Amino acid sequence: MKETTIQDLGGTGRARVFLLAAFVALAGMLGMAGSSKAETHTITVDNGRLTMGFVFLNNKILPADVPGPLDPNISNTSGSGTIAVETSGSTATVAEADFNMPIVWIPDPTAGGAPIPMKFGPKGDLTGTWDAGTGQLSLTGTLQVDVIWGFDEGGAKICRFTAPNTTWTTAPNAISPGVAFNGVGGLSGNGAISAFWDELPAGESINGGDCGKPNAVVRDPGAVWLSSGIAEVPAPPTCQELGKDGLWPDCVDIDWPDPDPVVEITKVTVTKGTVTAGQKAKIKVNVTNSGDLAATPITIKLASSSKQVKVPGQVKLNVPAGKTATASITVTATKNARGKATITASTSGKSGKAVVTVKKPRKRK
């Protein structure tokens, strides 16, 4: 059989081959455009804090001691740790082997502050998300914490805590909030991740490791905070900042008791009027109570600017809550009264005034 080559296909064949090649090239370009190149970013962890219950609150664990509390069995070569994060678009992963922390320790309050060595990290890989625009990182997996009490012929004597579905994140929490990474290179800038838990499962004794003391402090909330370039843990958010009650993020509205009802006098007015010399007339005083408690009663003080136009020194008035009440006031003008008089009414810090005009009496025929 004759072997067929591209040249043997003729003009039509060459056109078909050209179109096929163009299609393949276009598909490849689209495939490349739809995928993101994986990159590895190494976080240098130079500060760390540990909270376990109420005994250890943001206890400093990094930078670690060199060669460390387990030397020479296990020696630290550096006081810092590293986390190699592989990102592809918005996906982030950390292999178990790429989460490397030195041996750290916390003081034993029951033994004069003697060091309790610890090793922590993921059991298995961590997977999550990365947002290059905001610097937010979130990685979820199984947290493993080993409290190391020493060594014998069988190896390390460990109390091991294993907490599945634990998330390391730059997001805030109620103890030691994370901090978004801010560097131009993303994860190479300053930032912090924190793993928070409400409580840890009971520890497992390995090679005779004592779990009595550790189990006593893991029933309460705790966290591990790891940072790059940030020395102090930021203050955690509080419900009180939001005007609410509870432990963040489980904030609840405050059930404020109803305030005691009060009288609130907001307005006093006096109606103007006329009075004939030697006679009496009526004017009105209006008092508004905007409170939610009735004024029963209140005292209204009265005064006149003229000794020839007289009003009572005071009157009593009941004013319902949220209402306006009116008192009728008798104005008495002497025979010699002339002109005008200003009548003032005041109560509860509010006052009102009006003018009363005195008319001459009619002459008898």
Round to whole Å and give the CA distance between 235 and 222. Answer: 15
User: Would the CA dihedral through 198, 240, 137, 84 be positive or negative?
Assistant: negative
Quick one: pLDDT at residue 365?
Answer: 63
What's the Rg (C-alpha) of the chain? 42
Domain ranges of the chain: 39-253, 265-359
Q: What 3-state DSSP class applies to 353?
A: strand
First to last CA, the chain: 154
Round to whole Å and give the CA distance between 269 and 354. Answer: 8
**In Å, how far from its chain's centre is CA 303?**
57
Quick one: pLDDT at residue 355?
Answer: 97
Round to whole Å and give the CA distance between 289 and 300. Answer: 13
Asked if the peptide bond before residue 297 counts as cis, ω within 30 degrees of 0, the response is yes
Round to whole Å and give the CA distance between 217 and 206. Answer: 19
Domain 265-359 in CATH 2.60.40.10? The answer is: yes
CB 102 within 8 A of CB 129: no
CB 117 within 8 A of CB 102: no
Q: Which residues of the chain have pLDDT under 70?
A: 1-36, 183-185, 364-365
Quick one: pLDDT at residue 30?
Answer: 44
Quick one: pLDDT at residue 223?
Answer: 94
pTM: 0.65
Quick one: pLDDT at residue 21?
Answer: 46
Quick one: pLDDT at residue 248?
Answer: 87
Whole-angstrom CA distances from 36 to 31, 89, 135, 137, 356 are: 10, 5, 17, 17, 90
CB 323 within 8 A of CB 289: yes
**Cβ-count burial 347-360 (b if 16+ within 10 Å, e if not):** bbeebbebebebee
